[in-house]
Amino acid sequence: MHLSAPIYQLKRQAKLLARQRDMPLHKALDQIATTEGFQSWGHLASSASAGLPADVVLSQLQPGDLVLLGARPGQGKTLLGLELASKAATLNRTGFFFTLDYHMRDVADRFADLGIDQMSVQKTVEVDTSDEVSADYVIGRLECFDTPVMAVIDYLQLLDQRRTNPDLQDQITSLRTYVKATGGICVVISQVNRSFDLSDKPMPDLSDVRLPNPLDLSIFDKVCFLHNGKLQVDQAA
């Protein structure tokens, strides 16, 4: 059964409903689940877990992959990135989440949206909110770890906002060279042009990626796009 919205959005609806009606959260969750056609929230959650986007993406990743993850605002791309980092251990990897967009409190809130306790995930995920994040910075941090890594970078369009950083093409090339040499995995979150909203396409594609600065997108091994609760994973070329 297809959900009317991603599960994290349904959780937010339930929290809002609980506050508005002064009711226990578990009852609000069950009420939301009923409107989605399920007997209870537990029934909804167990059904949805069979095809969680993070698990779908992880099942298709290979050592050395450089991946683009794109969507319009509010579609859950950052949440998916966080979930990928939090599940890196399932690939016997250390997860990293580098963000130029969020502060630590924002990250904690997003983990809460996913039902993940940040204190527990800190043992397996390194979260970095430094303003210095760039390809060289990311590679420098990853090189400090002897174990296989999976890095998520939030997000592409901010990587070269500092004049002292190399241009975007050089940075992404450096990341690709690093993951190919080490067998690492790197997922780069990307914005999608607002013009996509006016198109009749069911899913964004590479032509919809917002590129304020030049970048050859064929450098990515795989591309993932999110829209209206659906996920599409393809080879870049």
Could you state, in order of their start, the residue ranges of all structural domains in the chain? Answer: 7-49, 53-235
Give the model's confidence band at 88: pLDDT under 50 very low, under 70 low, under 90 confident, else very high: very high
C-alpha 39 chain-centroid distance: 29
pLDDT digits 0-9 by tens, 102-129: 999 999 888 888 878 777 777 789 999 9
d(CA 236, CA 222): 5
CATH of domain 53-235: 3.40.50.300
pTM assigned to the model: 0.81
pLDDT digits 0-9 by tens, 50-73: 557 888 899 889 999 999 999 999
Model pLDDT, residue 150 = 97
Residue 89 has pLDDT above 70, yes or no: yes
Q: Give 232's DSSP letter.
A: E
